[in-house]
Structures are given as structure tokens and as C-alpha cells.
């Protein structure tokens, strides 16, 4: 029987992150400032440290990981690569299934991979406090942990609905020494305005972003903002996943035919995929690996959304971002994969999809929890609902292999555990869980609104991403 766990030593933690930007099939389109309708980054320089902005626009292929960051990574990295021995047996598939498990981090997901360097660069540049938003609480927990490691304060604006539903995430942030505030709050102008109109408002990611950004802008001298996904620098930091996984697969003399992962903003998937994509473009790959990202049918930004410029947030504070989008006014159904409910996606993923370097599949939460159940019964680890979308994709592929008799190698990233998602499992096992499908009609309505708001948008789309979208 093959080993279940393939493990590396602490000195195998990568010394550099890999940046895909110089290796993309065509250059990444710029952000657009809505005031000037020209390339521009708006408020970005006021809320991020210089080193992070440098990485965001970097054309360097390899970027050094500071020793202080590797030293914190040492707490849980290298993360284990598992051979899914039990799952293969349960499926009776000839496929080899591997998963890179990021749930062993102090926050329980891949997010500390970027929270730690972000906190470090802020500390180096004299920031005293970080502000951020969190939906389901995973990013807030990760940032709280990272801020603690470098002696920074952290303020986390947590969407009111989640704050009430997931009190243990808030307590985890408090335990790491961060302040966690239900959003909308009376701390900011944006929050006060909403509460004045509706004191019982349950909040949204958009509102929480507005509060966190306003906090950083108002307290510009000592406070910066940190972001958990979508941006290039975040995806860059996540490449420790794929760089380690490559070494681990080498140890068992294997290489993936296909790589699955889930996409909220796309950072964990980029983290596993980019290093294998590098093998492909540098002609080092022994195989033609397929890259498949999975999303929720309730939030199908790539499978049903439109590739064009849109705001990254509901409050329209960010510049326009070139990405697949459902529209910045997207209101998600209350699915349990909270991390997959973002309306847009990392611009690098959009370029890769557009250039047919990767594909996406969408699954509803009922079939996703069926997959999670089989995974739990055969592997013993309770996955978060988000990566259960990747498990579903991997299981489907393994079953196709069973039909054709192909012994493909399947790799997926299990980006977090589900120990704070027990209410979701309870709903599933009691038969109350509902599937959701986002209607195509709604996408069209949001696009209509967007193009009414910015009648010049198609000119910008044509000029910078060479497509007329609508
Ligand atoms: C945040 C999160 C996601 C979604 O974000 P990505 O940037 O797409 O990775 C998915 N799974 C878990 C466990 C998360 O915490």
C-alpha cells in the first residue's frame, strides 16, 4: 500500500514564491480608474505597504520569501500531501488521487500563507494596525493570527449575519488578540449611514469592505488594509502550496494529469496551479496537465459570468478590475460555502480561462455535501464546504477513470477543514439543505445596470481586454 502522507522537512519550505504574471499568454490588463477612465489604481497606494504594491505589479518570476516569514510558516509548513488511499478504494478507481491539505494551519485554511507576509511587510514599514473585512470568518482568523505574530493590532469587520451565526470564529479572532466588530457598525461613516436607514441590517461583504477601507483611509498614518484573495500578491503568496506539492509528488515519482481546486477569489487554486503551469510554459512538465477550477452554481462567476471590467466591491470603492463577474451588485444565496460567494475572480484566472489554459465546473451544494460525506467516511477528515467543491470534481474525474480504465493522477487542494461549519453539516444530514442555481437572467440585469452606470465601459473593455462584452 502507498504511504498516506508524503511529508517534507522544514528546510524544504520554499525560499521563493512563483509569480505567473510574466508567463501569462498575454499581458494582464491594467486596473481602470472610473474618474479618468484610464489605467490607474485609485486608493490602492494609500492602504497597502510599498512592498505589497511592488509585488502586485511585479514582472519578476521569482520573489524571495523573507526569513522572518518562513520562520512563521514553520509552525505548520510544509503542509502534508495525502494520497487518498481510502477514497480510491471506496470509488474502486484506477486513478491516483492526492490532496494538498492546508487545514493544518493555525487558522484552519490556506489563508495564513498570505496573511503572514502581509502582516510582516506592514510591520517592517511601520504600520501599527491592520483593518480588514471577513465574511465567513476564515480570512479574519488568519489575519488576526498573522498580526499577533508580528505585534500588530488588527480590526476585523465581520458581516453581521456570520457574526451571529459563527460566534466561534469571532472568539478565535479575539483569542489571537484582534478586535472583531459586527458590520455594519457605528465605527465608520459607511456603517452609520446604513444603520440609520436600517438598524437591523445583516450586512454584506461589500459593506464590510467599505468599513475596513474607510477605517484604513481615515487612520492612514498608522493603519493599513489587508486583503484575503483576488489580488496578484495574494495568489503569489499561495504558491507555497504548489511548490511543495511538486516536491512531494517527485518523492513518489508521480505527476498530475489534472488539478482541481475551488475558487472564491481564486487564491488557493492559483497557489496549487501556478507552479505546475510554470512547468508547462518552461517545457519541464512530463505530461499535459489539465487545470480545472470548481465553483458554486449559486455563484457561477466564471461559468455564467461575463469577462469585462467591474468593481471589486459593492460600494464601488475599488478601481475597475478586468475579471469574470456576476456584477458588483450580486447578492449571494445563503449557501454554506461562504468563501465562494464573491462576485468576481482573480484577473490572472480570467486571462487563463480566456486563453483556454484552464476550465471551470460548477456544482450545487447538495452534490457537494454528498461528495464531502464520502470523503469523510473514507479519509476521516471533515472538509470545509468550499474545498468540497474540489472533492466533487476530483471524485467525478476518478469515476470517469473507472469507466475508461485510465489510471490518471488527480491532485486537488483541500484548502481548509470544516470544524466551524458543523451547522452546515447538521442541515445536510437532517435533509434541510437546498441546492441553488443562480439565474442567467440576473447576470444580464446586473450587466445592464453596470453599463448604464458607465456608458463608456465597452470602449474600455475593447481597448484593454480586446473584447466587446455586452
Ligand atoms: C477563503 C476561502 C476560500 C475561497 O477563497 P480563494 O481565494 O478562492 O481560495 C475557499 N476555501 C476556504 C477554506 C477559504 O477559507
- The CATH number covering residue 156 comes to 3.40.50.1100
Q: Are 168 and 150 in contact (CB under 8 A)?
A: no
Take atom 15 of ligand 1 and give the residue whose Cα is closest: 138
Chain segment 82-137, per-residue pLDDT in tens: 999 999 999 999 999 999 999 999 999 999 999 999 999 999 999 999 999 998 89
313 lies in the same domain as 361: yes
Average pLDDT over residues 248-271: 98
Residue 238 has pLDDT above 60, yes or no: yes
Residue 317 confidence (pLDDT)? 84
DSSP-derived secondary structure for 164-201: HH-HHHHHHHHHTT-EEEEES-TTSHHHHHHHHH-TT-
> Where among 201, 232, 263 does a domain terminate?
232
114 within a domain of the structure (yes/no): yes
Measure 415 CA to ligand 1 centroid, in angstroms: 7
Q: Are 39 and 31 in contact (CB under 8 A)?
A: yes
Query: Which atom of ligand 1 is the closest one to the Cα of 235?
Result: 7
Averaged pLDDT, 320-346 = 89
Predicted model pTM:
0.97
Confirm if 311 and 328 have CB atoms less than 8 A apart: yes
Exposed / middle / buried, residue 376 (Cβ in 10 Å: 0-12, 13-18, 19+): middle
What are the DSSP calls for 205-241, one per residue? HHHHHHHHHHHHHHTTTTEEE---SSSHHHHHHTTHH
Give, for 463, the enclosing helix (H) or strand (E).
helix 457-465
Task: For residue 387, give the nearest of 144, 100, 77, 107 by alpha carbon.
Answer: 100
Q: Are strands 359-363 and 153-159 parallel, antiparallel or unpaired?
A: unpaired
For ligand 1, mutation pick of 142, 227, 265, 390 (most atoms within 8 Å of CB): 265
Domain annotation covers residue 238: yes
Q: Are 181 and 156 in contact (CB under 8 A)?
A: yes
Q: What is the mean pLDDT of residues 226-245?
A: 97
Integer Cα distance of 55 and 48 in angstroms: 11
- If one counts the domains in the chain, the total is 2
The minimum-distance atom of ligand 1 relative to the CA of 111 is 15
Q: Which of 179, 200, 232 is the last residue before a domain boundary?
A: 232
- The Cα–Cα gap between 443 and 344 comes to 12
Domain that holds residue 123: 109-232
For residue 341, how far is its CA from the centre of ligand 1 (angstroms)? 10
Neighbouring-strand partners of residue 324 = 307
> Which among 327, 337, 380 has a CA at the least distance from the CA of 362?
337
Q: Are residues 224 and 291 in the same domain?
A: no
User: Does residue 247 lie within any of the structural domains?
Assistant: yes
Nearest-angstrom CA–CA distance, 266 and 235: 7
pLDDT, average across residues 392-415: 98
The reply to whether ligand 1 has any atom less than 6 angstroms from the CB of 263 is: yes
Report pLDDT for 314.
Answer: 81
**Which helix (H) or strand (E) segment is 56 a member of?**
helix 50-56
Ligand 1 pocket mutation, candidates 104, 106, 109, 274, criterion most atoms within 8 A of CB: 109
Main-chain phi, psi angles of 18, to 5 degrees: -100, 130
Q: Where are the beta strands (DSSP E) in 312-424?
A: 320-325, 359-363, 409-414
Which ligand 1 atom lies nearest to the CA of residue 271? Answer: 9
Does pLDDT of 443 surpass 70? yes
How far away, in angstroms, is 339 Cα from ligand 1 center? 5
Considering the domain architecture, whether residues 117 and 195 belong to the same structural domain is answered as yes
Q: Whole-angstrom distance between the N-terminal and C-terminal Cα of the chain?
A: 54
Per-residue confidence (pLDDT) for residue 205, from 0 to 100: 84
Instruction: Verify that 408 and 445 share a domain, yes or no.
Output: yes
Question: Do 213 and 310 fall within a single domain?
Answer: no
Give the model's pLDDT for residue 467.
Answer: 66
- Both 119 and 202 in a single domain? yes
450 and 321 in one domain?
yes
398 occurs within a structural domain: yes
103 & 116 share domain: no
In a domain, residue 430? The reply is: yes
Choose the final residue of a domain: 232, 251, 270.
Answer: 232
pLDDT, the chain, mean: 95
The rounded Å distance from CA 416 to ligand 1 centre is 8
Nearest CA to ligand 1 atom 2: 339
Indicate if 397 and 411 belong to the same structural domain.
Answer: yes
pLDDT band of 469, cuts 50, 70, 90: low
Whether residue 263 is found in the same domain as residue 162 = no
Residue 96 belongs to a domain: yes
Position 318 scores a pLDDT of 86
Ligand 1 center to 386 CA (angstroms) = 7
- Percent of the chain past pLDDT 70, that is, above it, reads 99
**pLDDT tens per residue across span 164-186:** 988 999 999 999 999 999 999 99
Taking the mean position of all CA atoms in its chain, how far away is CA 231? 10
**Is the domain of 226 the same as that of 103?**
no
Give the percent of the chain with pLDDT over 90.
90
Say yes or no: 94 and 177 in one domain. Answer: no
Q: Which of 237-241, 438-442, 461-465 has the highest mean pLDDT?
A: 237-241
Question: Ligand 1 in contact with 117 (CB < 6 A)?
Answer: no
Assigned domain for 465 exists: no
Contacts of 253 (CB under 8 A, 6+ apart): none
Q: Is residue 163 part of a domain?
A: yes
Segment 336-369, tens digit of pLDDT: 888 898 899 999 999 999 999 999 999 999 999 9
For residues 412 and 198, what is the distance between their CA atoms, to the nearest angstrom? 43
Amino acid at each position: 500500500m502507498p504511504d498516506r502522507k508524503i511529508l517534507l522537512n522544514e528546510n524544504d519550505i520554499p525560499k521563493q514564491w512563483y509569480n505567473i504574471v510574466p508567463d501569462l499568454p498575454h499581458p494582464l490588463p491594467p486596473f481602470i480608474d472610473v474618474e479618468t477612465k484610464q489605467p490607474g489604481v485609485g486608493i490602492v497606494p494609500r492602504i497597502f505597504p510599498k512592498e505589497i504594491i511592488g509585488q502586485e505589479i511585479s514582472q519578476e518570476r521569482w520573489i524571495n520569501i523573507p526569513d522572518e516569514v518562513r520562520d512563521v510558516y514553520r509552525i505548520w509548513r510544509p503542509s502534508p500531501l495525502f494520497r487518498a488511499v481510502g477514497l480510491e478504494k471506496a470509488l474502486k478507481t484506477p486513478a491516483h488521487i492526492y490532496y494538498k491539505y492546508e487545514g493544518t494551519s493555525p487558522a484552519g485554511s490556506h489563508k495564513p500563507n498570505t496573511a503572514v507576509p502581509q502582516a510582516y511587510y506592514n510591520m517592517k514599514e511601520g504600520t501599527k494596525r491592520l483593518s480588514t473585512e471577513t465574511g465567513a470568518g476564515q480570512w479574519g482568523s488568519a489575519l488576526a493570527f498573522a498580526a499577533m505574530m508580528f505585534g500588530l493590532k488588527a480590526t476585523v469587520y465581520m458581516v453581521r449575519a456570520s457574526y451571529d451565526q459563527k460566534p466561534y470564529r469571532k472568539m478565535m479572532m479575539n483569542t489571537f488578540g484582534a478586535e472583531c466588530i459586527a458590520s455594519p457598525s457605528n465605527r465608520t461613516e459607511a456603517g452609520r449611514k446604513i444603520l440609520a436607514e436600517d438598524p437591523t441590517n445583516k450586512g454584506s461583504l461589500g459593506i464590510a469592505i467599505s468599513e475596513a477601507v474607510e477605517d484604513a483611509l481615515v487612520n492612514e498614518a498608522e493603519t493599513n488594509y489587508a486583503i484575503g484573495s483576488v489580488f496578484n500578491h495574494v495568489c503569489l503568496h499561495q504558491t507555497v502550496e504548489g511548490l511543495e506539492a511538486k516536491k512531494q509528488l517527485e518523492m513518489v515519482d508521480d505527476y498530475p494529469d489534472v488539478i482541481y481546486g475551488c475558487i472564491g477569489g481564486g487564491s488557493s487554486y492559483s497557489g496549487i496551479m501556478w507552479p505546475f503551469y510554470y512547468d508547462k510554459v518552461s517545457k519541464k512538465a512530463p505530461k499535459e496537465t489539465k487545470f480545472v477550477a470548481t465553483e458554486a452554481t449559486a455563484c457561477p462567476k466564471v461559468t455564467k459570468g461575463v469577462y469585462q471590467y467591474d468593481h471589486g466591491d459593492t460600494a464601488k470603492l475599488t478601481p475597475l478590475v478586468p475579471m469574470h463577474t456576476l456584477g458588483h451588485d450580486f447578492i449571494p444565496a445563503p449557501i454554506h460555502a461562504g468563501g465562494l460567494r464573491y462576485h468576481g475572480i482573480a484577473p490572472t484566472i480570467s486571462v487563463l480561462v480566456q486563453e483556454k489554459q484552464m476550465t471551470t465546473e460548477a456544482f450545487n451544494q447538495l452534490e457537494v455535501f454528498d461528495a464531502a460525506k464520502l470523503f469523510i467516511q473514507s479519509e476521516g477528515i471533515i472538509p470545509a464546504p468550499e474545498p468540497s467543491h474540489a472533492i466533487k470534481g476530483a471524485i467525478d474525474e476518478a469515476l470517469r477513470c473507472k469507466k475508461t480504465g485510465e489510471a490518471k493522477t488527480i491532485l486537488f487542494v483541500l484548502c481548509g477543514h470544516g470544524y466551524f461549519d458543523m451547522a452546515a453539516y447538521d442541515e445536510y444530514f437532517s435533509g434541510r439543505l437546498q441546492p441553488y442555481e443562480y439565474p442567467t437572467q440576473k447576470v444580464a440585469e446586473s450587466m445592464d445596470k453596470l453599463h448604464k452606470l458607465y456608458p463608456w465601459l465597452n470602449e474600455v473593455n475593447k481597448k484593454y481586454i480586446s473584447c466587446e462584452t455586452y
